[in-house]
Structure 1
């Protein structure tokens, strides 16, 4: 029973590593997409965010399942460490790999956040510039329309 539970815990850790690999791939896609802020495909950006959201949900489910199962076998494993030392050692290696991937993902997320902020700042500046140009054009239009209603100032009345 405990050995089977430890196998399931190990399998859960392996699945978590697989999901984290997919998140790293999505982070790389996001980085490539945001690298050139003048040419960002917003639809692709949204899709990447959706995929990453689903992957994060999977991670949370795996973590919850792992914790639930671990809580059930923790006492038995703690009492018989020698009996399960090979499985424990493998799981410790997987947990170290997960920790390293987690740090890598966090760093990539931080870099991508900076790229996204740069993109959104540039887009905001373009919008403000567009508003300014539109306001200037509207003011010019209003001014020109007002000039049409002014009667001629110098009129020759000789006739």
Structure 2
């Protein structure tokens, strides 16, 4: 069982390393979103592309988590019973988890900042749409009003009443 346990622990550590890389990628993509949100001209297509890429990374992360938990359920009892035998590997795993926690906290913070920036962007967009609608209504009312005032053949300089 010890050989299998060593193999399982090494797989767990590899999984933790992969998770760390995915978290770093998510953080980089979140920072790229921040750049798009801060730009003068909002690039919807680029923003949507990043969202799709992040969705793929999150799915991959979920799969790694599921596999990790499944594997840990097989070796968790052995690790608890023989902590000295696996001390180095456990220490490595703990360090990886600590780094992941730091990256996750940074990622959460960046996501919150982006959420606030996106909210501002959307409200600005709504304001522009509202201004456009008001302008369009005003122009339509003006043209409607003016269209009934003058008929072909009438002069602008003479009063209709004479």
Using the size of structure 2 for normalisation, the TM-score is 0.90
- 4+ residue segments displaced more than 4 Å: none
Matches within 5 A, 1:103-142: 103-142=105-144
Counterpart Cα distance in 1 of 2:118 and 2:51: 12
Picking from 7, 14, 22, the partner of 2:17 is 14
CA deviations 1:30-88 (Å, max 9, x no partner) are 1111113x411111011111111111111111111101110111111111111111100
What's the secondary structure of 1:100's corresponding residue? helix
Gaps of 5+ in 2: none
Confirm or deny that 1:4 pairs with 2:11: no
Counterpart Cα distance in 2 of 1:4 and 1:21: 26
Question: Residue 115 of structure 1: CA displacement?
Answer: 0.9
Gaps of 5+ in 1: none
What is residue 63 of structure 1 aligned with on the other side? Answer: 65
Question: Residue 153 of structure 1: CA displacement?
Answer: 3.2
Picking from 78, 81, 84, the partner of 2:83 is 81
The CA RMSD over aligned residues, in Å, is 1.3
**Alignment coverage as a number of residue pairs:** 153
What is residue 47 of structure 2 aligned with on the other side? Answer: 45
Question: Residue 148 of structure 1: CA displacement?
Answer: 3.2
